[in-house]
Chains A and B, each alone.
Chain A
Amino acid sequence: KAGVTQTPRYLIKTRGQQVTLSCSPISGHRSVSWYQQTPGQGLQFLFEYFSETQRNKGNFPGRFSGRQFSNSRSEMNVSTLELGDSALYLCASSDRSASGGAGEQYFGPGTRLTVT
């Protein structure tokens, strides 16, 4: 099976712009989660989507949003970019169902966003 893919891998944006990042989960996985990693804050959970519904949300401002499509692919959007949004954005997919049970998450390589 192909792994989790994220596009683009690198991105440079200007403060005030918006950006959309894409994540394609492992085939058959219906859960997609997004994380932000910065040197100061470490790895932080942004949100999770399962079957096109946001199931969980981290403590981030409303400028951060996401969605999931019927084929489980997911996008996240950051509007009005700030310098502090520079980070590695990671996507993870899981075949863990909504009813629970243990299961691992598989991470993609990430998108490195630089805001200037």
Chain B
Amino acid sequence: DAKTTQPPSMDCAEGRAANLPCNHSTISGNEYVYWYRQIHSQGPQYIIHGLKNNETNEMASLIITEDRKSSTLILPHATLRDTAVYYCIVRVSYGNKLVFGAGTILRVKS
């Protein structure tokens, strides 16, 4: 699985959009980009995933660059409850092994 690089931490004002970047320059054509988050001491929560096209669901939007070497997770209106560690993961289309990096600690402040 390709390696990902994320900033160690970010701050965001409550109500504003949180944009979390992820670099995955060695991604292969059959690898998906997944985002999970983990609120303190809870199990990770699935947020969104994508292959080539931008994706949106009720939680967030995922923007993948055309060359697929980087992506951005967007939380459109961050709340205090969005404070968590956010993990960007690249994985192949078979099997269920997730390789977690250190992630980005997002702090939403009022």
Interface residues of A (CB under 8 A from B): 4, 31, 33, 35, 42-45, 48, 50, 55-56, 58, 88, 90, 92, 94, 96, 98-102, 104-110, 112
* Residue from A44, A88, A92 within 8 A of B41 (CB atoms): A88
Tell me if A107 and B44 are in contact (CB < 8 A).
Answer: yes
* Residue from A44, A99, A107 within 8 A of B94 (CB atoms): A99
Interfacial residues of chain B within 84-100, with CB under 8 A of chain A in the complex: 87, 93-100
Query: Which of A33, A58, A104 neighbours the largest number of chain B CB atoms within 10 Å of its CB?
Result: A104
Tell me if A55 and B95 are in contact (CB < 8 A).
Answer: yes
Tell me if B94 and A100 are in contact (CB < 8 A).
Answer: yes
Tell me if A43 and B94 are in contact (CB < 8 A).
Answer: no
Contacts of A88 in B (CB 8 A): 41
**How far, in Å, is B93 (CB) from chain A's closest CB?**
5
Tell me if B98 and A110 are in contact (CB < 8 A).
Answer: no
Contacts of A112 in B (CB 8 A): 41
Interface residues of B (CB under 8 A from A): 32, 34, 38, 41-46, 49, 51, 87, 93-102
Given A4-B43, A43-B44, A110-B43, verify A102-B98 contact (CB < 8 Å): no
Contacts of A50 in B (CB 8 A): 96
A35-B44 Cα distance, complex, nearest whole Å: 11
Tell me if B96 and A48 are in contact (CB < 8 A).
Answer: yes
Contacts of B41 in A (CB 8 A): 88, 110, 112
Given A42-B102, A102-B32, A102-B51, verify A56-B97 contact (CB < 8 Å): yes
